[in-house]
Amino acid sequence: GVKVRKLNTLTKACSEYISNPYNLRVLQWNILSQALGQMNDNFAKCPDEALAWNVRRYLIIEELIEYCPDIICIQEVDHFNFLRHVLGTQGYKGMFFPKPDSPCIYINGNNGPDGCAIFYRNDKLDLLKAETRILEIWKVQSNQVALLMILKIKETGQEICVTTTHLKARKGPLLSTLRNEQGKDLMHFIERHCDNRPLILCGDFNAEPTEPIYGTLLASSLGLGSAYADCDTTDTDANLTSACREPAYTTWKIRGEGEVCHTIDYIFYTKDNLEIEAVLEMPSEEEIGEHRVPSFSYPSDHFSLVCDFRVGRC
Q: Which residues bind ligand NDP (CB under 6 A)?
A: 30, 36, 40-42, 76, 99, 101, 103, 106, 143, 168-170, 204, 206, 255
Shortest distance, position 203 Cβ to ligand NDP, whole Å: 10
| Residue number with CB closer to ligand NDP (24 or 167) | 167
Beta bridge partners of 6: 279
CA distance 125 to 21: 9
Rounded to a whole number of angstroms, the minimum distance from the CB of residue 169 to ligand NDP is 3
Min separation Cβ 43 and ligand NDP, Å = 9
Residues 62/300, Cβ–Cβ less than 8 Å: no
Select 235 or 257, whichever has its Cβ closest to ligand NDP: 257
C-alpha to C-alpha distances, 37 to 74, 187, 251, 254, nearest whole angstrom: 15, 30, 14, 12
* 243, 230 Cβ separation under 8 angstroms: no
Q: Are 242 and 230 in contact (CB under 8 A)?
A: yes
Left, alpha or beta for 84 (phi > 0: left; psi -120 to 50: alpha)? alpha
Q: DSSP letter at 67?
A: T
Question: In the complex, what is the shortest distance from the CB of residue 30 to ligand NDP, in angstroms, rounded to a whole number?
Answer: 5
Q: Residue 10 or 260: which CB sits closer to ligand NDP? A: 260
CB of residue 194 to ligand NDP, shortest distance in Å: 25
Decide whether 172 or 221 has the Cβ nearer to ligand NDP: 172
Tell the smallest beta-carbon distance from residue 313 to ligand NDP (Å): 36
Q: Closer CB to ligand NDP, residue 144 or residue 163? A: 144
- Closest CB 256 distance from ligand NDP, rounded Å: 9
Task: Round the CA-based radius of gyration of the chain to a whole number and report it.
Answer: 18
- Closer residue to ligand NDP (CB): 140 or 314: 140
* Pick 169 or 240: Cβ nearer ligand NDP: 169
Q: Whats the size of the chain, residue-wise?
A: 314
Q: What is residue 60's three-state secondary structure?
A: helix
Q: Are 72 and 94 contacting, i.e. CB atoms less than 8 angstroms apart?
A: yes
Non-local CB neighbours of 9 within 8 Å, separated by 6+ positions: none
| 91 vs 212 by CB, closer to ligand NDP | 212
Q: In what order do the strands lie in the sheet with 305-311?
A: 5-6, 274-279, 305-311, 23-30, 71-77, 115-121, 92-98
- Region of 162 (left: φ > 0; alpha: ψ -120 to 50; beta: rest) is beta
Nearest approach in angstroms of CB 73 to ligand NDP is 14
